Amino acid sequence: MTNTHLYDCDTHFTDHLPELWTDIGFLPAEAPEVVTEERVTRLRLGDRLFPRPSGPGHGNPKGLGHLIGPGEDGDRADFMTKHGIAAAVLQPGFVGLSVQAVADPETRLRLLDGYNRLASRSCARSSLSLKWAFLASVEDPRWSEETLRRYADDPHLVGVVVRPTGRTPSVRLNDPAVTPLLETAARLRLPLFVHGGTGCYQWSPLAEAYEDYAMTHAFGHMGEHMIALADLVTRPDGLPDGLNVVMLESGIAWIPSVLGRLTSHTKRLSGGAVNPTDIFREHFAVVPDPGEEHVTWAVRHLGADSLLFGSDYPHWDTVEADSWLAGFADLAPLDKLAANTSRLVPRLTGQPS
């Protein structure tokens, strides 16, 4: 598999180790804490445990123990070599996916700043071709935009990543306050990665209706991405020219029908000129999972030009390259997949900023 030359848009940074945070100046009392309760290892931020141990919308019962590898250079090198991955994007780990749930703004911003420093430094120090996505927060759009500009010349930066939803329903991706962040990302040729995660105390109305992990996982990712998709394709001031939006771990079989419904309803009931389907085709990319039912139908409907590869390594549901290529290589052979990546995530393939 070493000659496949894949570009992996969705791997995860192991960002919860306390020694990482101590090394960048965090005191033990303010750094993320790893604890073991009832024989399950979890992350503690403030007075909350992540992933959420129980109750509506709770997370993986294995806590931090669902990883299939430590996510360090050694095991990553083995994984990337085995699957022919030329370069990979570090998406947020447990801390990055959870930090927006911290209510205190000062604490939240310090953790966000720490995460981005760690991700940048880890890529710079790695012997592998690792890139990173700047972690932005819809809770803090002005800080996010100003801080992103400071990283504009980072040679390992390839995108911006946000949660699909905020801590509460009052914070949304369709808010005009988010526009400067999106404009800066577009100007820097950085795609907007949208990535959720269960048990993170985000606003997740479908997942919060269940206490069964199978249901919270099924509806958490998909439900939050439905909200993000609707918010982004119906933004009052639109999406900036040249901005690419990459949906990660969202599932995609639901997208064509939801897009069709959004398009018909905005046309018939709001009388607006906005066409969500056209906006999606112009701006959006998807990272399909070959194990999802009806996924090939969805890819054909959405178009192979929108296709990107993501492994989700080292999470428990890591996608094998052989399985992915068996499902999608007929629609997007390697040369087309590489061309898609160069167009949609240009810095990942070495295109200039």
Residue 238 to residue 235: CA distance in whole angstroms? 5
pLDDT band at 3 (very low <50, low <70, confident <90, very high): low
Query: For residue 54, what pLDDT is reported?
Result: 93
CA distances from 279 to 215, 255, 273 (A): 30, 13, 11
Across the range 203-224, mean pLDDT stands at 94
3-state DSSP helix/strand/coil percent for the chain, to nearest 5? 45, 15, 40
Query: For residue 353, what pLDDT is reported?
Result: 53
CA distances from 235 to 12, 90, 176, 232 (A): 29, 28, 8, 5
Residue 60 to residue 55: CA distance in whole angstroms? 12
Q: Each residue of 259-306: pLDDT tens digit?
A: 999 999 887 767 667 789 999 999 999 999 999 999 999 999 999 999
Backbone angles phi, psi at 95, to 5 degrees: -70, -50
Query: In the 3-class helix/strand/coil scheme, how is 86-152 assigned residue by residue?
Result: EEEEEECCHHHHHHHHCCCHHHHHHHHHHHHHHHHHHHHHCCCCEEEEEECCCCCHHHHHHHHHHCC
Residue 1 to residue 52: CA distance in whole angstroms? 38
Residue 118 to residue 31: CA distance in whole angstroms? 13
Query: For residue 46, what pLDDT is reported?
Result: 87
The DSSP H or E segment spanning 195 is: strand 192-195
Type of residue at 312: D
Asked whether the beta carbons of 314 and 69 are under 8 A apart, the reply is yes
CA distances from 208 to 249, 310, 311 (A): 18, 27, 27
Percent of the chain with pLDDT over 90: 90
Residue 17 to residue 174: CA distance in whole angstroms? 34
Query: For residue 5, what pLDDT is reported?
Result: 87
Asked whether the beta carbons of 43 and 94 are under 8 A apart, the reply is yes
Q: Are strands 48-50 and 40-45 parallel, antiparallel or unpaired?
A: antiparallel
Percent of the chain with pLDDT over 70: 97
Query: For residue 265, what pLDDT is reported?
Result: 87
Across the range 216-223, mean pLDDT stands at 93
Inform me whether the pLDDT recorded for 72 exceeds 70.
Answer: yes
Query: For residue 1, what pLDDT is reported?
Result: 46
Judged by DSSP in three states, 52 sits in: coil
Inform me whether the pLDDT recorded for 346 exceeds 60.
Answer: yes
Residue 74 to residue 188: CA distance in whole angstroms? 32
Q: In what order do the strands lie in the sheet with 40-45?
A: 33-37, 40-45, 48-50
Backbone angles phi, psi at 185, to 5 degrees: -60, -45
